[in-house]
Amino acid sequence: MGRRQGSLESVEGLSTPISWQDRPTLVTGATGLVGSWLVRRLVEAGADVVCLVRDWVPQSEIARSGQLGKVKVVRGDISDQAVLERALGEYEVQTVFHLAAQTIVGIANRNPVSTFEANIRGTWALLEACRRSPKIQQIVVASSDKAYGDQEKLPYDEETPLQGKHPYDVSKSCSDLIAQTYAHSYALPVVVTRCGNFYGGGDLNWNRIVPGTIRSIVRGDRPVIRSDGTYVRDYFYVEDGAHAYMTLAAALARDPSIRGKAYNFSNEIQVTVIQLVTKILALMGSNLVPDVRGEASNEIVHQYLSARRAREELAWKPLFTLDQGLKRTVDWYRQFLTEQTN
Segment 72-96 shows an average pLDDT of 97
Contact between residue 128 and residue 186 where contact means Cβ atoms under 8 Å apart: no
**pLDDT tens-digit profile of 185-218?**
999 999 999 999 999 999 998 989 999 999 999 9
Percent of the chain with pLDDT over 70: 95
Mean pLDDT computed over 305-318: 96
pLDDT number for residue 1? 37
User: How many CA within 13 A on the CB side of residue 284?
Assistant: 28
Phi-psi region at 318: left, alpha or beta (left = phi > 0; alpha = psi -120 to 50): beta
Residue 175 in 3-state DSSP?
helix
Identity of the residue numbered 305: L
Q: For the whole model, what pTM was predicted?
A: 0.91
pLDDT of residue 239: 97
pLDDT band at 11 (very low <50, low <70, confident <90, very high): very low
DSSP 40-82: HHHHHTT-EEEEEESS--TTSHHHHTTGGGGSEEEE--TT-HH
Would you give the distance in Å from CA 127 to the centre of its chain? Answer: 18
CB distance 41 to 17 below 8 Å: no
Mean pLDDT of 30-35: 93
- Of the listed ranges 108-117, 132-141, 272-281, 290-299, the least confidently predicted one is 290-299
Q: Which of 148, 156, 168, 333 is catalytic?
A: 168
Interval 222-261: pLDDT, tens: 999 988 999 999 999 999 999 999 999 999 999 999 999 9
pLDDT at residue 216, rounded to an integer: 97
| The pLDDT of residue 17 | 62
- Whether 9 has a pLDDT exceeding 50, the answer reads no
Tens of pLDDT along 139-168?
999 999 999 998 889 999 999 999 999 999
Burial class from Cβ neighbours inside 10 Å (0-12, 13-18, 19+) for residue 59 reads exposed
Distance of CA 88 to the CA centre of its chain: 21
DSSP state of 4: P
- Whether residue 297 is predicted with pLDDT greater than 50 in this model: the reply is yes
Give the whole-number percent of the chain exceeding pLDDT 90: 81
**304 vs 201: CA distance, rounded Å:** 22
Give pairs for 120-123: CB < 8 Å, separation 24+: 120/171, 120/174, 120/175, 120/178, 121/79, 122/28, 122/77, 122/78, 122/79, 122/175, 123/98, 123/174, 123/175, 123/178, 123/179
For residue 168, indicate whether it is catalytic: yes
Distance CA 139, CA 97 (A): 6
Enumerate long-range contacts of 310-313, CB under 8 Å, 24 or more apart. 310/244, 310/248, 310/263, 310/264, 310/265, 313/251, 313/258, 313/263
Q: How high is the pLDDT of residue 65? A: 87
